[in-house]
Amino acid sequence: MSLRSLLALPTLALIALGLSWGHSYAEPRDDSHVSEPPAHYNLGDVNMTLRRTTCFGSCPAYTLTIRGGGACTLRGNGRQPWTQEFSVDSTAAFNLLEDFYGADFFVLRKEYVESPWIRVSAGGNVVVLRGRITDMPHAFLTLSIMDYTRTIQTCCGFGPRSLQDIAERMDKLTDAKGRVQRQDQRDRSNLK
């Protein structure tokens, strides 16, 4: 939709568009940084990593890596850093890799840490505001294939829903959040 079309919409329609835009808008491609992953590689050359940061609350901080064959490494950043090694089904790991391709991971912006809001004045002027929330956890998704590496940072559900879906799928596939909580409970009980 062009800016001219936006200005022709009634004010309430613009405000409604602005409220939903932060989570569902179509993201323009930024081809200035595009580098393609290799065209041919082995699944053993693939690493898919999710790193979640802390917040000013009790958000768990950890780094989860799922390799193309299904081997996983989970590193916790609790009171005492720890590492768990385990595996998931190789078909599930392959399906996750397909999700990265399906999300156009290679052409999306490198960060989605702010959300646009539209403000319309009584005179019909449209201003796009951008807001950041600094005390919320951030998620970093990284895809590495041989020498190729690309990382995208997200926060608060900003950006394409497909990135949130990938992070949630990685958590669910490995029970990462549950593993982190159980390890934190063990660490607390060992301190008593």
pLDDT at res. 42: 94
Nearest alpha carbon to residue 105 among 158, 63, 152, 39 = 152
Are the C-beta atoms of 154 and 138 separated by less than 8 Å?
Answer: yes
Q: What is the Cα–Cα distance from 6 to 8, expressed in whole angstroms?
A: 5
pLDDT at res. 134: 63
Q: What is the Cα–Cα distance from 49 to 140, expressed in whole angstroms?
A: 8
Q: Which residues contact 99 (CB under 8 A, 6 or more apart)?
A: 162, 165, 166, 169
Residue ranges in the chain modelled with pLDDT below 70: 1-34, 57, 78, 115-116, 131-135, 192
User: What domains lie within the chain, and their CATH numbers?
Assistant: 46-115+137-176 (3.30.1560.10)
Output the pTM of the full model.
Answer: 0.73
Are the C-beta atoms of 77 and 61 separated by less than 8 Å?
Answer: yes
Cβ neighbours, 10 Å, residue 183: 19
Which two structure tokens, joined as six digits, stand for 131?
A: 């807001």
Cα angle value 185/54/191 (rounded, 5°): 30
Task: Specify the 3-state DSSP secondary structure of 123.
Answer: coil
Q: What is the Cα–Cα distance from 143 to 155, expressed in whole angstroms?
A: 18
Q: Which residues contact 1 (CB under 8 A, 6 or more apart)?
A: none
Phi, psi of 180 (to 5 degrees): -65, -45
127 - beta bridge partners? 119
Q: What is the DSSP letter of 129?
A: E
Nearest alpha carbon to residue 140 among 51, 47, 46 = 51
Question: Where is 36: in which H helix or E strand?
Answer: none
Question: Where is 117: in which H helix or E strand?
Answer: strand 114-120
